[in-house]
Amino acid sequence: MSRGRFLGKAYRSWFPDLRTNGGGTGKAEREDPRGQAFDVAAHFRDHGRAENRHLAEPLTGAADVVLVSANGTLLVSGWLDDTFQRRSLLEARLPKLVLRMSWHEVDVPPSAILRTGRADVTTARGLLEEARLGFLVLMRLPEDVPPSDRLAIGVRHETNVTPLTEVVPRIVSEGYLVSYYLGFFHGLEREPHHPAAAIKAHARHGGALGALWQAHLAGAAGHTVLDLRSRDPGRGVAGTPAFSAITVVHGQVDLLHRQCVTQFPALAALGGEILVVSNHPPFHAQVQELCRYAHAAFDVPVRVLAMDGNVGFSRANNLAAGHAGSDRLVFENPDVFPFAKTDWPAFARRIAALGDDEIVGGHLYFPDGTVMHAGMVVESDPMPVRVRPGRGAGPDADGALPDPLPTGALLREDHPHKGAHDARFAGLGAPRPFPAVTGSLILVRRALFDALGGFSTDYVFGCYEDADLCLRARAAGASVTCDPGLRLVHLEGGGGGEKLPAVRGAMLYNRILFTARNAGRLPG
């Protein structure tokens, strides 16, 4: 059998870090920690056979999306075929990405880079193995590097930088960038064992995203108030409502319309005032118009807080609580309605008897009469593999260390009686303690709410902040009970249609945050 002629020079030309010492003999040596020398043929025998299909492919990559927010947070989404640089196709070695912007060079911290699967790139590059060729960067730019309209991305090899691509970043708002990232976060559900992938993403980008969300909240906290007080001079005691019912609306104006003719008049008849927070500027006019209607038709005392942007469930409710005229707060979702079993006198009595150190929820039903919520528990879902989140972003802007991320299980809030027939609760008259109650209906005195700091605004958009509030209240010595005398219908978001990817991503993001913060508060 004849032997092939090894093309030593050609092989060496692909490896600029190989340095010959034998002229044209093919002998080569490379500086390495061990100081050992070897020839290129030996190098090929040792390393090249398993990787030679990539030898003709130089390091290649591209950026698909580059977004920069006004506060200097950079998001880069792209792909990088660095399989040759990896020891194993299955174990990603983080490339050393370098950014050049505004006449500055910035090394991307490895902790800000998340490698992801990119099936399209894998197919296009002709790879058989599922290599993780995608990458996502979310980081704050240094303060002395302002966003500009040109961004060059490269990969550093020792002192050399191989340019990959040059792009024109898009300047976006903080809120847009949060939504975009969370849409990507939701896309991680396509990854094998997606909770682990999400936890790793949380470890790398949680700090930057949290800061981004807070920057968005600071910029969108402006609002206008439409004050429609009752025309009935005899209502309330010296102008003080019996309670303040707070509803946050984000686009569900059809539901608000129906609340205006059922829920709000009933609450107003009990002496309450209504505070509606409109979290979606395009619908401000319609929300205000509907509240004007509730006021005109049923004499409902209502105030509308029209936010400059979507500040999420927590900040909107906290803000409305600050506007409340009563020290008794009723938080209710825009998809909560009365039905035949609603006992409004019992509702009024429970609000009047609300204690200083308790949070009270109710029994909520689906429109078909089955139970949606009768108390909430926190379940722990073990993960099949123990997750190593990796290095996080380190201390946040305030210097505080981030919460330890979950490694073996994720907490989940659960409604244990969901779907049950109401007969299951026949004869159940007394409130029962629960770890938490849903934020769809929460009764609490303002003093306790303020002492707890309100709903945590660290949770993006909305989800898990209700359970977080309840667990913090319990840790502070307050009670959390579910009262079967408070009965309403709850559509559980069913009126809002299909949730956007960003909202679903926020649910997963918040779940990880909730686990990190509360795992230590729960027994076991």
Q: List contacts with another protein (CB under 8 A).
A: 251, 253-258, 260-262, 265, 283, 286, 289-290, 292-293, 295-299, 337-340, 367-368, 489, 491, 495
Give least dist CB 290 to another protein, A: 6
Give least dist CB 253 to another protein, A: 4
Q: What interhelical angle do 174-187 and 194-220 show, nearest 10?
A: 170
- C-alpha span between 522 and 518 (Å, rounded): 7
Give least dist CB 186 to another protein, A: 24
**Measured between alpha carbons, how far apart are the two ends of the chain, in Å?**
68
Nearer to another protein, 71 or 288 (CB): 288
Give least dist CB 409 to another protein, A: 36
Nearer to another protein, 229 or 257 (CB): 257
- C-alpha span between 268 and 245 (Å, rounded): 9
> What residue type is assigned to position 49 of the chain?
R
Nearer to another protein, 291 or 463 (CB): 291
What letter would DSSP give residue 262? T
- C-alpha span between 357 and 479 (Å, rounded): 6
Nearer to another protein, 125 or 499 (CB): 499
Nearer to another protein, 53 or 339 (CB): 339
Residue in 357, 375, 365 with CA at minimum distance from that of residue 483: 375
Residue in 440, 481, 494, 478 with CA at minimum distance from that of residue 462: 440
Give least dist CB 495 to another protein, A: 7
- Going from the C-alpha of 125 to that of each of 78, 120, 225, the distances in angstroms are 14, 9, 56
Which tokens go with 271?
């002496």
> Tokens 């307050």, residue?
478
Nearer to another protein, 90 or 296 (CB): 296
Give least dist CB 269 to another protein, A: 8
Nearer to another protein, 126 or 233 (CB): 233
Nearer to another protein, 186 or 363 (CB): 363
Give least dist CB 273 to another protein, A: 17
Give least dist CB 326 to another protein, A: 22
Which tokens go with 15?
């490896």
Residue pair 468/456 in contact by the 8 Å Cβ criterion: yes
Residue pair 460/506 in contact by the 8 Å Cβ criterion: yes
**Quick check: helix, strand or coil at residue 258?**
helix
Give least dist CB 488 to another protein, A: 11
Residue pair 465/314 in contact by the 8 Å Cβ criterion: yes
Nearer to another protein, 14 or 293 (CB): 293
329: alpha, beta or left, given left = phi > 0 and alpha = psi -120 to 50?
Answer: beta
Q: CB 190: neighbour CB atoms within 10 A? A: 11
Residue 436 φ/ψ, nearest 5 degrees: -160, 165
Give least dist CB 338 to another protein, A: 6
- Going from the C-alpha of 398 to that of each of 101, 210, 372, 394, the distances in angstroms are 27, 12, 40, 11
Helices (H), ranges, 239-281: 253-261, 263-269
Nearer to another protein, 270 or 452 (CB): 270
Give least dist CB 493 to another protein, A: 13
What letter would DSSP give residue 47? I
Give least dist CB 312 to another protein, A: 21
Residue pair 242/301 in contact by the 8 Å Cβ criterion: no
Q: Is the dihedral of CA 434, 437, 443, 449 positive or negative?
A: positive
- Going from the C-alpha of 415 to that of each of 375, 468, 481, the distances in angstroms are 6, 15, 14
Nearer to another protein, 9 or 231 (CB): 231
Nearer to another protein, 340 or 423 (CB): 340
